[in-house]
Amino acid sequence: MRTLYFRQPLTYDGSQLSSLWAFRHLGVQGDSIVAFRGPCRVEREALVDLADYLAASIIYSPDMLHFLVEHFETDLEKGVLRQRLLVVITKELLEARGMRLRRRGDDLFVDNGKLSVSVATATPVSLMIHLGLNLRTEGVPVQAAGLLELGWKESEVEALAGSIMEAYAGETKGVYLARCKVRGVP
């Protein structure tokens, strides 16, 4: 699994949930997790979560740490499980730094403030996952929490991204190796 932190700001608008996006735009080929920082604005037409679409939701944050995962397989249930794994890894790493978080499904909360957005979907050739962590929350249309507003320093954002990507890649490798060490039973 390849990892990359892209240092130039990018706006996440939902178009990144397309097969081979990391390869086409960042040169990262194969199963990957890439991170970047920037605003998030997903208009209704770009929403892949039909519940959000029907509620006419707009996903917005002025500043997020984004993770985009691609696995070249198409089992959506497995993709949702991988999404939950990514969220749990993120929760564990943030809690190790003293944060008190609550997870509901694929969402993370600090008290009643929503810290994250996330979605998993399938393309014709791959599974895609997006996880965004609020850094700042001005103008967010729901009660939200942002890492920088909770005391994180600007200088810590890239290191956090690296820790999350490495932990996810390590878990993915561990799952693969666990599959390859057991014998079948009749």
Q: What is the pLDDT of residue 81?
A: 98
The whole domain housing 62 covers 2-179
Identify the pLDDT of residue 58: 86
Does residue 145 form part of some domain? yes
Scanning the structure block, which residue is given the tokens 């320093």?
153
pLDDT digits (tens, 9 = 90+) for 116-130: 999 999 999 999 999
21-43 CB burial, b ≥16 within 10 A, e <16: bbeeebebeebbbbbbbbbbebe
Which CATH number is 150's domain given?
3.30.930.10
Q: Is 184 part of a structural domain of the chain? A: no
What is the per-residue pLDDT for 50?
87
What distances in angstroms separate CA 185 from CA 38, 174, 182, one per listed residue? 49, 21, 9
Quote the pTM value.
0.96
| pLDDT at site 56 | 86
Which segments in the chain show pLDDT lower than 50? Answer: none
Q: Is residue 77 part of a domain?
A: yes
Number of domains in the chain: 1
Q: DSSP E strands: which ranges in the chain?
A: 2-6, 32-42, 59-71, 102-104, 107-110, 113-114, 116-122, 127-136
Q: How many CB atoms lie within 10 A of CB 73?
A: 14
Instruction: Collapse the DSSP code of 4 into the 3-class scheme (helix H, G, I; strand E, B; otherwise coil) and give the result.
Output: strand
pLDDT digits (tens, 9 = 90+) for 39-64: 999 998 899 998 988 888 889 999 99
